[in-house]
Structure 1
Amino acid sequence: MIYIKIEDLDFYDDANILVKSFYPRTEVTSKPIDDAELTIEVESPVIDGRSKGEIHDEFKEKLYLQLVKLTGKTLPWGNVTGVRPSKVVVKMFNNGVPESDIRKFYREEHFVSEEKIDLAVVVAKKELEILKSIDYIKGYSLYIGIPFCPTTCLYCSFTSFSLAIWQKEVDNYLDALIKEMQFVSDSMKDRRLDTIYFGGGTPTTLSAQQLDRLLTALENNFNVEHVYELTVEAGRPDSITLEKLLVLKSHKVGRISINPQTMNQKTLDIIGRRHTVQQIIDSFKMARDNGFDNINMDLILGLPGEDEAMIHYTLEQIKKLSPDSLTIHSLAIKRAAAINILKEKYKNVSIVNTDEIVAMTAAYAKEMGLEPYYMYRQKNMAGNFENVGYSKPGKECIYNVLIMEEKQTIIAVGAGGASKVIFYSEDGNYDRVERIENVKDVRNYIDRIDEMIDRKRKFFAENSF
């Protein structure tokens, strides 16, 4: 346990993130304890006439340099604690800031490495290219949440429910979900629907008949003829069947995601994914054979027990499959994840992520003809790195860009859905974002669906966006 001795607790969140970045998998506290492994005393800045951002930047700079001196190491993202570095770059480009000044800003004020500056700039340029063809102010996107999974992975903190336990409630859930979709359709009828994303959980835990029912309801309630993109996360290979793929294809689903996370069977067993490496390969090839030409695959760096050689093996196997996009995640251990809750059980399991591993994944992506197009960071990430989406040109996920840059209103339906409504001023400048949240529990969502709809109804009645 590390004790952060700090006078002004308004700065504690910044201190907590930075200290954990230098000391991963170590608990920190702002309360004095007798048996602290380390005490870090942090001087709070003087509160004067400067903006809140400027004061916090001064605090992070001083603490970062203090931690560098204490540990003898630096971080790839320097003292940047925000989760959307490319969003800052996009904003600076839009404000006419020269690229040279953007690079200087990150290098001199935030101590970011040249490699990460390059990444942020490249991604921002790609995002701007994608966004210029979309009227994101007048349009909207739709997120449809399916919270069921075959099993819960060791690292996962998302709201997901075991299909084995909740099987009898799935149709009741779909009843409620379709009811909410009908309300959203009527409420947003004057806006163009740009992208649709089925996420979860694992949407393909639904049966083929249930998928058909849900996609038919989508088509009956929304004008989907001109959407730029319709994505369904097929996620877990053990949830994919030929019948389900044919249903998706018949409803013009253009993009799917088949997510191995790793191609090492030993790791799959550790993290609780009850499928084999061969099932990953078979599911991917089955999707290809049935006309899916936009398939994403997710990998996670820093999984328990994986070293550089194992990740190299995974990348070699993925290269043979040649997906259209590849999303590389650096493991972020959330508070609600089983690996964190059961940390005593897993305290001796190594979690490794290095500059060399991240560089290796980028090199493999390049060899596969994939270019970075979106990125984001999370708290408690292995190695203090980032998540990067790579894609073949023209196969980028527009929804991912819209949600990361917070450029467009995204209405979310389903248990755990969090709608983000983006407000713009009359002159078209970004103003603010507000959230409308659904309850996370499946039973609560089913029982309180009218309340979830009323939350949206009240928000839409009180706000013009």
Structure 2
Amino acid sequence: MSMNGCKSAAVSCKETLYTYNVFHMVKAFFPEAEIRQTVDEEQEPLVNLVLDGGSCFSVMPDQAVLCLTGVDRNERKKQVTRRIYDWLAAYTGKQLAWGTLTGVRPVKLAMNRLKAGDGEEEITAFLQREYQVSEEKARLAAQIAEREKVLLDRLDYKNGFSLYIGIPFCPSICSYCSFSSSPIGLWKDRVEDYLEALFQEIRAIGDMTFGRKPDTVYIGGGTPVTLDASQLDRLLSLAEDTFPEAVSGKGLLEYTVEAGRPDAITREKLEVLRRHEISRISVNPQTMQQKTLDRIGRRHTVEDAVRSFWLARELGFDNINMDLIAGLPGETAADMQDTLRQIEALCPDSLTVHSLAVKRAAQMGQEKSEACNLEHREISRMIQDSADAAKRMGMVPYYLYRQKNIAGNFENVGYARADKAGIYNILIMEEVQTIIACGAGSMSKRVYPDGGIERSENVKDVALYLQKIDEMIERKRKLLED
């Protein structure tokens, strides 16, 4: 049975406790399947799963002793998930790289064990035993946790916060993208309106955090450099005026602008970023295959990506990240190998390799593209080749996260040379510092001393953000008040 051999499945759970994990387990094994899910408190099975063609499996209360009333809910859920996983693995003849894990931050499990005193071997064995994670991925999580802890232990971040500024515009929308981003051409007459609202929010954050300073600033999107040079200059100047001790005083641990799309990068814009002493930028081709760039709606050439990279180097940027995506439609492992060969010739300071995640909101998801149908082994080869290329460039994996509907049930990994790891990426993945985010579609997270987290999300629609900016600011004020 192929992992893509099931087109529909029906899942019925006795309680909502099991619905999330069971849904995502089935989806991981059968990414193209339409899953109908119900909750029936009167049914006897804890979970009943029926695949098209009639194959079925049930988890009965007497099959899972830990599912008895009074047993810890998380343990009950874990045991039921394990039984569903074991049956699907036997049925398909496949094992998932991350086993029964459905969350986006597997390294947090490793980090918790590390803080409890476990070493790499103990953490690896724990993830294999408790969650059926492959040895390769379990060891990767353990090693990344160790690197993150070393970095976090030497940083002074506990009394500060990180600031995220979102620019929700792109030159065009990639077919796989589900971010809250709009083509700049549709908003060219209202970009100034957006900046006015964004500046209002940034100033309000300055008032709310008076006496505290950001440790990192990350300007993302979208594509921030869709703004013209003068707009970028005004945005960065406002940040400096609002947080003078950190930004103007160069007290930041890291100052990132995701330059992103090569078709929006110009010398004039990069010169603005240099004047404001941005310490880290991204030039993100996603692939170095022209046929793929054309297919996914990225209106730039491979040569544009090379030109943008060398222009940034010429202007003195010494911490440049590049993003790639494994599993883009029509690409093979050979295509990825060619892309990696071209990236190695550029020799960036860090490399982030994403496994394609197709969300329903994306054009590709709505069209049910064949991108989801790549063979598991093909994507696995792409990921391994990427890791090998990063190693040849002197990089090590330093952060990792996963997404829903991710190709092959794999992961996204950031690789970096010594002292070039993205600090903001680690802080947000480990959820150890408050992130205050502004702009349409951004999300703020307050991290409390006891580890508790509270969130406040800005509306995604740009027009609605303009209308409701006062409400967005008030939400943030409530989130941050003592």
TM-score, L = length of structure 2: 0.91
1:69–1:436 CA distance, 2 compared to 1 (3 A): same
Cα distance, 1:50 vs structure 2 = 2.1
**Which of 25, 29, 48 in structure 2 is aligned with 1:22?**
29
Cα distance, 1:156 vs structure 2 = 0.5
1:133–1:174 CA distance, 2 compared to 1 (3 A): same
State the partner residue of 1:406: 431
**Which of 2, 6, 10 in structure 1 is aligned with 2:13?**
6
Secondary structure (helix, strand or coil) at the match of 1:354 reads helix
Q: Which amino acid aligns with 2:374?
A: I
Q: Which amino acid aligns with 2:384?
A: A
**Which of 443, 465, 471 in structure 2 is aligned with 1:418?**
443
State the partner residue of 2:262: 237
State the partner residue of 2:107: 86
**Which of 438, 444, 447 in structure 1 is aligned with 2:467?**
447
Q: Which amino acid aligns with 2:27?
A: K
What CA distance in whole angstroms lies between the structure 1 residues aligned with 2:390 and 2:121? 27
The C-alpha deviation readout for 1:47-87, integer Å capped at 9, x for no partner, is 42222211111011111111111111111111111211111
Cα distance, 1:265 vs structure 2 = 0.5
Q: Are 1:191 and 2:216 an aligned pair?
A: no
Secondary structure (helix, strand or coil) at the match of 1:311 reads helix
What CA distance in whole angstroms lies between the structure 2 residues aligned with 1:379 and 1:364? 26
Runs of 4+ in 1 over 6 A off after TM superposition: 32-35
Say if 2:167 and 2:439, in contact at 8 Å, map to a contact too: yes
State the partner residue of 1:108: 129
State the partner residue of 1:129: 150
State the partner residue of 2:160: 139
Q: Are 1:342 and 2:367 an aligned pair?
A: yes
Cα distance, 1:351 vs structure 2 = 3.0
1:323–1:35 CA distance, 2 compared to 1 (3 A): closer
What CA distance in whole angstroms lies between the structure 1 residues aligned with 2:395 and 2:303? 24
State the partner residue of 2:292: 267
The C-alpha deviation readout for 1:102-156, integer Å capped at 9, x for no partner, is 2221112211111101110110011001111223321100000000011111110
Q: Which amino acid aligns with 2:318?
A: D
1:34–1:455 CA distance, 2 compared to 1 (3 A): closer
State the partner residue of 1:174: 195
Say if 2:261 and 2:285, in contact at 8 Å, map to a contact too: yes
What CA distance in whole angstroms lies between the structure 2 residues aligned with 1:44 and 1:179? 56
State the partner residue of 2:44: none
Secondary structure (helix, strand or coil) at the match of 1:145 reads strand
Secondary structure (helix, strand or coil) at the match of 2:190 reads helix
Q: Are 1:317 and 2:342 an aligned pair?
A: yes
What CA distance in whole angstroms lies between the structure 1 residues aligned with 2:286 and 2:98? 24
Q: Are 1:433 and 2:453 an aligned pair?
A: yes
Say if 2:285 and 2:322, in contact at 8 Å, map to a contact too: yes
In structure 1, list runs of 5 or more residues that go unmatched.
Answer: none
Q: Are 1:292 and 2:299 an aligned pair?
A: no
Secondary structure (helix, strand or coil) at the match of 1:296 reads strand
**Which of 396, 401, 404 in structure 2 is aligned with 1:379?**
404
Cα distance, 1:38 vs structure 2 = 5.4
Say if 1:11 and 1:44, in contact at 8 Å, map to a contact too: no
1:226–1:40 CA distance, 2 compared to 1 (3 A): farther
State the partner residue of 2:374: 351
Say if 2:326 and 2:379, in contact at 8 Å, map to a contact too: no
**Higher alpha-carbon deviation: 376-385 or 397-406:** 376-385
More contact order relative to length (CA 8 Å, sep ≥ 6)? 1
What CA distance in whole angstroms lies between the structure 1 residues aligned with 2:68 and 2:473? 43
Secondary structure (helix, strand or coil) at the match of 2:415 reads strand
Q: Are 1:277 and 2:284 an aligned pair?
A: no
Secondary structure (helix, strand or coil) at the match of 2:437 reads strand
Q: Which amino acid aligns with 1:339?
A: M
Q: Which amino acid aligns with 2:300?
A: H
Secondary structure (helix, strand or coil) at the match of 2:476 reads helix
The C-alpha deviation readout for 1:219-249, integer Å capped at 9, x for no partner, is 1111312001100001100000000000000
State the partner residue of 1:213: 234
What CA distance in whole angstroms lies between the structure 2 residues aligned with 1:122 and 1:212? 40
Say if 2:49 and 2:58, in contact at 8 Å, map to a contact too: no
**Higher alpha-carbon deviation: 329-338 or 203-212:** 329-338
What CA distance in whole angstroms lies between the structure 2 residues aligned with 1:89 and 1:21? 22
What CA distance in whole angstroms lies between the structure 2 residues aligned with 1:350 and 1:112? 23
Q: Which amino acid aligns with 1:168?
A: D
Cα distance, 1:97 vs structure 2 = 3.1
**Higher alpha-carbon deviation: 101-110 or 154-163:** 101-110
What CA distance in whole angstroms lies between the structure 1 residues aligned with 2:151 and 2:345? 28
Say if 2:173 and 2:183, in contact at 8 Å, map to a contact too: yes
The C-alpha deviation readout for 1:293-327, integer Å capped at 9, x for no partner, is 10000000000111111011100000000000000
1:341–1:242 CA distance, 2 compared to 1 (3 A): same
**Number of equivalences:** 455
Secondary structure (helix, strand or coil) at the match of 2:440 reads coil
The C-alpha deviation readout for 1:354-395, integer Å capped at 9, x for no partner, is 332221111111001111000001111111110000000100
Say if 1:146 and 1:203, in contact at 8 Å, map to a contact too: yes
The C-alpha deviation readout for 1:15-43, integer Å capped at 9, x for no partner, is 11111111122221125999945554332
1:34–1:365 CA distance, 2 compared to 1 (3 A): closer
Secondary structure (helix, strand or coil) at the match of 1:424 reads coil
